[in-house]
Structure 1
Amino acid sequence: MKLSIRTKLLGAFGVTLALMVILGIVTLYQMEQMNDRARHLSDNIVPATRTASDMRRIVNRHRSLAAVRIADPRPEQLTRTNVERRELETDMDALLQKYETFIVTDIERDLYNRIRENWTAYVGEIGKGVFGAEDLQAALISFNGLKPLFDQLHQDTTALEQENNRQALEATGIVQEAYHNARATITGLLIGALVISAVIGIALSSVIARNIGRLIDATNAVAQGDLSRVVEAPSGDEIGALAVAYNEMVASLRTSRAAEAEARDAEAKLRQAEIESRRVLEATVAEYLAFTQRIADGDLSRRLEVRQNGALGQLGEGLNAMVASLHAMTLQIQQANAAIASAAAEILAATTQQAASATEQSAAITQTSTTIEEVKAIALQTARQAAQVAQDSQTALQMARQGAKAVEETVNGMGQIRARVESIAQTILSLAEQTQAISAITTTVAELADQSNLLALNAAIEAARAGEQGKSFAVVAQHVRDLAERSKAATVQVREILSDIQRATNAAVMVTEEGTKGVEQGVTLATRAGQVIHQMSGEVESGAQANVQMAAAAQQQTAGMDQIAQAMTSIQQATTQALASTRQAERAAQDLHTLAQSLQKTIAKYRL
């Protein structure tokens, strides 16, 4: 089959993938079956078993409540028993209705129907004969008579629970069997898939390795120099294409080896011709080299005798033309150099004189700038002092204004203080009047305490006369007497406190009167101070205006000096630049003169 390696690998992968898909589908199917059985077990059998157990528990508890009714006939116990009994009956009805959805087998259906019928009969009979009976003996007889029906209910609920347990065990066994079957099926399919994948992989790798081995052997033979080996291409995949390319490469190498032998013969002939050409070239180059050496030594009167054709002949003619050009150029340079030397001497003398004049001018400008800087410093100091005086005047004016404002605020504050002091005096007088009223109240309380004490004493006397019957009354009288004593003592303390308050009030009244007088004097003094400060403000403001004018004049003078200093600085910079330019021109003239002399020496060695 002419299939590529990629197609073979993809085919092997596709077979493996198909086996994995089949294995996954079977696994999912088995898991779905186990899930259905487990869901049936958890959603049907387990709740049904729990419901049957609850029904059996309710039947037993209902029977116990009937026994409690007979054993404890108290009304409150009967009420609690009836409440719990009704709850149990309601729960039982709900469980019966719930269990009907879980019925699967006919056995369950028969047991369910019997339990429902017997429960209805049992509840009706025991409700009338036990819970509704007034006579305990009749209730006991009814209780014993319903025992067979109770036993039947207990037996049926137990049988129903056992049936559910049996179904649970059976479902569990089915689930386990399905699990074992699924595990065996999945294991078998997995082993089969692994075996098939291994067989395909081994076969495919063997074919690829065999073909690659043939190529490796042939490649090693070529590496050792054997170009007669040919590789057969049994397959149509990439290895077969590689074998064909290998065979073409070996054929190309054989052709290249034959062409290489022919090239070596041609190379020997070319090498002989190259030796002869090199000998002629070396002789010609030696002649040209000797000619150029004479030219380098300054002999421009010699010329080459050209005997070669081609590039060497053109090179000889070019050298002769170059020497003729150098001869004419050297003659022109000698004439120009003489003129340049004369001009350079004249330029050097002029620039030297100009540099001396520029130096003197720069010194004069520097001295003038120094004088201007001193005058500028004096003017700047004057301006600063004038500005400081103006600023101090403004500060003094501001402080005077603030002082006048503070005096006005002080006068207003004094007025507020006088009003508050008068209000405090009125409050203290009211407090004194209230303390007098409290004193009258304490006097009344003291009188009431004396009367209570007297009444308590009389009560104690009467209680002593009454003997044993008056002991409790004597205790009350003693408490009243103690209360009266404490009230009297408290009244004395209140009087002392009121006396202290009255003394403090009188002192406060005197202090407030003195404070009022002091506030009035403060208002008078503050008013006088305000007038004086207003006068000072006017004088300070006049002085501040004069100082501001002086500071402005000083600033203008400083600005004028700055302009003069800037102008002198510009002049000095221009002079400095001119001096620098003159120095550069002087150095250039010197360099030109030196260059002219050097050029004269250089040209002197050429012989025309």
Structure 2
Amino acid sequence: MNWFMNLEIKNKVIILFSTLAVAIFVSLYVTYDNLTTLENNQKDIEDRFIKPNNEIVTIRRSLIDYRLRYISAITLPDSAKLENIGKEFNSHIIETDNAILTKMKSLGVSLRYKENFDGLEASYKLYKEEAEKDIAALYEKKLDGLAFPRNFVESQYGSAISSYESMLMVLDELDFIMKRDLTALTRRSSQDLFLNYLLFYILAGMVIIVLVVLSVQINLIISRPLKQLTSLADDIAGGNLKVETPVIERNDEIGRLYKSFDGMLDSLKEVGKLSEKMASGDLSSNMVPKSENDVLVKSLNMMVGNLGIIINDIKESTDILSSSTSQIFSATTKLAVNANETATAISETTTTVEQVKKTSEISNKKSREVSAAAQRAAEISDKGIKATEENLAAMNKISGQMNTIAGSIVKLTEQSRAIGEIIATVNDLAEQSNLLAVNAAIEAARAGEQGKIFVVIAQEIKNLSEQSKQATSQVKNVLNDIQNAINLTALAAEQGEKIVRSGMELSKEAEESILMLAGTINTFTDVAMQTSVSSQEQFIGMDQIAIAMDNIKQASAHNASTSRELEQSARDLQTISSKLKDSISIFNIS
């Protein structure tokens, strides 16, 4: 059967249906032959039995009629009509004789019993001669009152009776022989009919068996392999590439189809393995195209190459982003430290201002007491000198702190500008990462189903770049707030410096006044009044300084809070950069 299985399906179908056509043709031929045989048997029965039997019946009737006319002629009682007997008998005899002889000749030609009909014809001729002699003898005698002589009666109406009975015996014998042959032929026809029916049923059964065998063969060689192949195709369409194509030792279209399907399955398995490697980050593998028209493998290799280029660009951008975020984090850390130091210095300055304020208040009180207690002038003068010296030292300290604050503010301004430049660089990197993510998504979309995972990676990169942009935007907003706070701090510091200068001038004047007070006791009252006024002004100035320092303290606290927020944003940006770097590090491009 291997030669049959290796034939093309067209030749298989031709052979199978040719076999069916031959079986049907044989059945039709045998049926036609049997019908022809039955028709010939029917015609044979009609020619050999039915027609001859009708002829015999006609002859028998003619003979009986002849016999009756003969008896009527010889037994007629009316002697007056004897003259016409011969004429009527002879006239009728001619018609009957012609009919009987014609039928006998017809039977002698159509039947196979010629010797029987030869004897019948001889008996009929003898009968006719004897009948004619009897009629002639009766006509010649013409007996009075008698229609026939007595010897005619004694001889049973004439001497021709023996010939007549002999003809009847021949006819009876022929009738018996024909019935016997007809029975045999009928029995044989019935047997032939039974055999024909049996043969017809056998051939019909054979045709049905051939049809069943053809159906089974078609199912085995065509339908079943195609169903198996359809089931495998459904499994592959469902994503199952672990199926195996059955081995079929055939060289027809089905065998070639199975071989082509097996090759296609192998290619899909290779594509699946390459996709798994790509999904795990291994971009160093490629597939060898099966032919120049292998668009899938070529596109997949091109996608792997383009993705490797994109990943390299993203890695470089990620390194730059990581370096920038490190610089930003370092700068924000320094900024936070400086902001804390500034806040500490301002807090100390505020404490000093409060102390100076209290001192001014005490000086004011003492000045008022000088006018009421001149006797304590010397002591108050000493205390005034001492207080003035302390006030001058405090003012010098405040001036130094204000200079430190001014330097920190200048340095903080420069660092804020540097952070702004770094943020611009990070923003540019985020834009480049977003553009690379869009390109990667486009390349992955071209790859179809195998590029879905790269669409996810490209989307993750895009999300990370968007987060980077948001983080840099937040950092930029924080830097703007810090810059505003720095500007406010600088303004407050400038005002504080002016107030400190004014306080220092007032302290110097107070010192001079106290020295003059010590030298000029006589004018102590006037000087005390002037000192009281100066102390009042100093108290007002110190109150203004305290308010300004409180504003500076609040601005410094806000600056420190902003620095901490900037530091947290930088830390978040660094974390995002690390995640992006970790996400890309899974890819092996070499």
Tell me which structure has the larger Cα radius of gyration: 2
Smaller-chain TM-score bracket: 0.3 to 0.5
Q: TM-score, normalised by structure 1?
A: 0.41
Q: TM-score, normalised by structure 2?
A: 0.42
